[in-house]
Structure 1
Amino acid sequence: MLTLSWTTPVTVPGDPATARDRLWRALLDKAENPVPYVPAITACAVVERYADGFLREAVRGERRLVQRVFADEAAGRIVFRHADGTDFAEICDQLGEAEDGGLTLTLAVRLTAEATERAERDSGYVRALNRDFEGTLAEMTQALLSAAARFGELAGVR
C-alpha cells in the first residue's frame, strides 16, 4: 500500500512551554469534531467509545465515512482507520519536531491496495490527492493554531 504525506511547520501562539500540549488538545478536538477544522467534512458524530479511542461517522461530500480513531499522546499521533470502503486505509495526524526545535504537523494517508494500483496507473489521481490534501493541511493547520491559541487563553496563557 502506498503512503502519501505532507508536513508543515507550526508555530503555536502564546507560551512556547505549553505549545505542544495545546496543539495536541486541538488535534483531539479535531478528531471528535472535525467540521471546524476540515472544510470538506460537513458533519460528524462519535458513535461509540472504547478504552483506546472511538468510532466516528463523518460526512464528506456525498460520502459517509466510518472511522475507528486511535490517539497516542506519547507519540503525538492520531490515526483514523477507515472501515467504509474509501480509497484510504488510514489517515494520520502526527506532531513532530523540526531541526530547529519547532513543531511540525504531518498529514499522512495510506491508500488501500486498490487505490495504490490506481495511483500507479493514473498520475492524475495522485495529483488530485496531492491538491486535496495540501489544501486540507493548510486549512486544518490554521484552524488548529486558532484552537491552540484559544486553549491557551482559557488556561490563562498569553
Structure 2
Amino acid sequence: MNFEHLIQINDLSNPLVETLSRDQLWAGLCHRIEDATPFLPGLERCTIVERHADHLLRRLDFGAAVIHDRVTQAEQQWVCFEVLPSEHHAGGSLTITIEEPEPEVLFLRFAYTTTFAAAANPEEQAYIEYIKSAYQQSDLDCVRVIRTLAAEGTLQ
C-alpha cells in the first residue's frame, strides 16, 4: 500500500496558529530522528546504533517489540524512515517532505510505503482505512510535538 497526505503547517490567514519557520520545522524533524520517543506513543527507547555519512541506523524499543530502521535525509528538504524487515515488522517506509509553495506557506507531506496488499474484500478495505486513519493521527501528533518544542524554545 502506498499512502500519502499533506498537513498544513502555516496558515498566514489565521493569526491564531503560530507560524513556524522552515528552520524550526526542520529542527523538529531532526529531533524526531535523534529521539523519536516523544513522537511515537509506546516507544520506550530510541537508540542510535550507527552513524554514517549518508544515513543512520536506530533501534526502537517498544517493550514487546524491537524495530530497527535506517534514516536518510536531505537537509531542509526531507527525511526518510525505512523500517528494516524482521520477525516483528514486515518493513516499510515513511518519507516526510517539507513543501513551501509560497514563502512561509509550509506543508509537510507524509508518504508511506507498506507491505499491505490492495484490499480484496470490504473487511480488508475497512482495515486499510483504519491504518490510514492511524497514520494521519500519528502525523498530526508529530506536528503537535514539533509545535510544542518550538513553543518551548527548543527548536532554534
2:69 pairs with 1:70 = no
Q: Which residue of 2 aligns with 1:108?
A: 111
Point out the structure with the larger helix share: 1
2:83 pairs with 1:82 = yes
In structure 2, C-alpha distance between the alignment counterparts of 1:87 and 1:93, rounded to whole Å? 20
Q: Please tell me the residue identity of whatever aligns with 1:78.
A: V
Post-superposition shift, 1:136?
Answer: 0.2
In structure 2, C-alpha distance between the alignment counterparts of 1:65 and 1:125, rounded to whole Å? 22
Q: Deviations over 1:50-102 (max 9, x none)?
A: 0012100113463211101001115x110011213424421111111256851
Post-superposition shift, 1:38?
Answer: 2.4
Q: Please tell me the residue identity of whatever aligns with 2:82.
A: R
Q: Which stretches in structure 2 are left out of the alignment for 5+ residues?
A: 11-16
In structure 1, C-alpha distance between the alignment counterparts of 2:44 and 2:5, rounded to whole Å? 23
Q: Which residue of 1 aligns with 2:13?
A: none
In structure 2, C-alpha distance between the alignment counterparts of 1:61 and 1:6, rounded to whole Å? 29
SS in 1 for 2:154: helix
Q: Is the 8 A contact 2:81 2:94 kept in 1?
A: yes
Pairwise CA RMSD of aligned residues? 2.3
Q: Which residue of 2 aligns with 1:96?
A: 99
Higher relative contact order (CA 8 A, sep 6+): 1
Post-superposition shift, 1:6?
Answer: 2.2
TM-score of the aligned structures, taking structure 2 as reference length: 0.80
TM-score of the aligned structures, taking structure 1 as reference length: 0.79
Q: Which stretches in structure 1 are left out of the alignment for 5+ residues?
A: none
Structure 1: 4+ residue segments shifted above 4 A: 98-101
The number of residue pairs the alignment matches comes to 144
